[in-house]
Structure 1
Amino acid sequence: MSLPSIRSLSTSTSPPTSTSPFTPTIHPIFESSTGTWQYIVACPSTHRAAIIDPVLDYDRATQTVSPTTALALLEQVSRAGYTVEMILESHVHADHLTAAFFLQNRLARAQGGLRPPIGIGKRVEQVQRQFGRRYSIGDDEYVGVFDRLFDDNEIFAIGDLRGEVMHLPGHTPDHLGYKFGDDVFCGDSLFHPDIGTARCDFPGGSSEALFRSGRRLLALPGHVRIWTGHDYPPADGARPAVPWTSVAEHRAQNKHLMDGISQQDFVALRSARDASMAAPKLLHPSLQINIRAGRMPSPTDKGDRLLHLPMKGGDLV
C-alpha cells in the first residue's frame, strides 16, 4: 500500500512488544494536528488486533476530509500481519473526526469480508440524540450506526486477549476506558501528569464524575500503565514521546488528581480551567460526523455533503 506524505504523524520510538499471550503488543501512533494518540492493540499469539480512537483528517480551510492518518494505521496493520477484529471508540469526540467507518470498510475488503464491528459505550445513544437534535440531523443518519454498545464492566476478547470495559464518565457521559491486562486505554479522562485531566464543560460532562473516574483508575495497582488519548507537548519538546504513565506516577504527580487532592479541590481546579478554555477548533464537524460513527452526511441532490455551523449574532437585520 502506497502512502501520501505524513509529516504530521509520529510513532512512539519503542512500542511495547509482548512476550506473554495475555499481554498486548501495542502500537501507538500520534496525530499531531489534533494531539491525538491512536492505538493498535494486538494479541501476540493470534495476531488479532483492535484499533482504538482512530483519526480522520479534516482541513478547516478547505472543508476537505482525507484519510492520511487512517492509511498509516492500515500500513502498520498490514506490516505486522494483523487481522483487526474490532474498532473501539472511547467516546464521541469533539476535537477530531473518527476514522472508524473508513477503516471498517477498508479492512473488510482487505480481510476477505471480515468487517470489524465499531464498539462504543451504551450511553452513546443519549449523546447521539442530544447532538442530532442540536444539528437537525435525522435519526436515520445515526441510529444503529455503532455495531456494538458495551455495558459497564463488560468482558470481550481480541484473539486470546481479555478486554474489560471501564465506564469513566466526566469528560462525557458515554466515556469508556479499555483494559487489557496491566494496560488501560483511558481515552480523554487522564492526560500526562503535568497536564492533569480532560475538560468537563461539554453537555453531560461533570467534574464530580471525572474525579470519581480518576480515582477509580488510580486505585489500580501502581505498575499498571495508563495510555492517554491526547497529548499537548511543551514547545521545547521536553516530554518523552511516550503516551503512557504508570498509576504510581499519576498518584505522585498528576496536577489535578495526585494523592491528597480532594473532590472539592479537584472541582474547583477543573471548573476554573474549563472556564478559561476556548471551544475545540473542530467541535461542530467532529460531533456531527462522530455521532454517525464516521459516516459522512447524506448527499444533497447536487451531490454535496453538508454540515451545520451555528452562528452567533444571527438575529441581525
Structure 2
Amino acid sequence: MLFRILHDEASGVLSYLLGDEATREAVLIDPRSSDRVVLDSVLHAERLKLRWILRTHDHEGAQPHEARRLLAWRVPLVQGRERTGVTVPTDGERLPFGNEVIQVMHTPGHTRDGLSFRWRDRVFCGGLLATQACPLQPQPEDAAALWDSVRCRLFSLPDETLLFAGHARRSRVVSTLLEQRRWHPQFAALSRDAYLARMAAKVRGVGSAGNGRSVASAR
C-alpha cells in the first residue's frame, strides 16, 4: 500500500492519499481543490487511478464552490452534506478501492454532517479531536453531537487504532485511540455536562468579543 500525507503548514489542513499498489486504485481524503496540480502529479508519478474523493466535512458557508471544484476530478465525491452531484453514504457503508475497503462512520459535531473513514487500523477523523485547529470553523457546529461522536463512537474502537487529524497546528498529526481516551484535555478530562458548558461559554465569549469590536468601530 501507498500512503502519503499532504500538510499545508499555513492553514494546518491535512490531506491523505491511499493507493493499492496491486490494482493502482487510489483514494484521496480531504483534498483541497487548490492542491489539484500537486495531487495530480503524485497520482501520475505513482501510476495511480483515482477511485474516490472522501471528505470528512464540508464548510458550505466559507467554501461554497469547493465541492463543485472537486467534482471536476470526475470521480465519486463522498461527503455527509447533500449537494448536487455528491454521494452521501450510509453509516457503515463500505467503499472499495482495489483490494482494499474503507468503512464510513457517521460522526457529526465538528460539522453537522461530519464523517470519519476507517481503513485497516486507522481512522481519518477530520476535526473531531482538534476542532479549534480548523481555520474555517474554530468551534463545533453541534457540541452535543461532537461529544457523542467521540465518546460513544470513536472511543469504542480498539486502543491501538491510529487517529489521523484533518487539521494540525503545531501539534501531532497522528495519535492512538488509547492516548486520546486517557489524556484528551476535553473528552477524557470532562463530563458531558462540563464539556457542553465550556463550549457554550466559549460561544458566548466569541459573541461578546464580536459585539465589542462592532461598538468600537461604530465610534
> 2:70–2:77: 8 Å Cα contact kept in structure 1?
no
* Structure 1: distance between partners of 2:18 and 2:27: 5
Aligned counterpart for 1:47 among listed residues 13, 21, 24 = 24
Residue 213 of structure 1: aligned partner: 149
Which of 102, 108, 114 is matched with 1:163 structurally? 102
**Corresponding residue for 1:253?**
183
Match of 2:196 among 248, 264, 267: 267
Report how many aligned residue pairs link the two structures.
204
2:114 and 2:25 mapped to 1: Cα distance? 25
Secondary structure of 1:92's counterpart equals coil
Residue of 42, 67, 75 corresponding to 1:116: 75
Partners of 2:17 and 2:63 lie apart in 1 by 18
Cα 1:45–1:266 shift into 2, 3 Å: farther
Matches for 1:111-190 after TM superposition, within 5 Å: 115-121=74-80, 124-125=81-82, 144-146=84-86, 148-190=87-129
- For residues 125 and 156 of structure 2, what CA distance do their matches in structure 1 show? 14
Tell me, in whole angstroms, the C-alpha distance in 2 between the residues paired with 1:277 and 1:253: 26
Shift in Å, 1:36 = 0.5
Paired-residue identity, %: 25
Q: Look at both structures and tell me which one has the larger radius of gyration over its CA atoms.
A: 1
Aligned-pair distance for 1:120? Answer: 1.2
Equivalent position amino acid for 1:78 in 2: H
TM-score after normalising by structure 2: 0.81
Distance (Å, rounded) in 2 between the aligned partners of 1:245 and 1:275: 31
Is the Cα–Cα contact under 8 Å of residues 55 and 96 in structure 1 kept in the other structure?
A: no
CA distance in 2, matches of 1:273, 1:52: 30
1:243 matches 2:173: yes
Deviation at 1:165, TM superposition (A): 0.7
Distance 1:51 1:98, change over 3 A: farther
Compare the two structures and name the one with the higher helix fraction: 2
Distance 1:98 1:26 in 2: 28
Structure-2 separation of matches of 1:246 and 1:45: 28
Determine if contact 1:164/1:180 at 8 Å carries over to the other structure: yes
Deviations 1:139-161 (A, max 9, x none): xxxx5231x21111111211111
TM-score, with length taken from structure 1: 0.58
**What is the aligned partner in structure 2 of residue 27 from structure 1?**
4
Matched position secondary structure for 1:265: helix
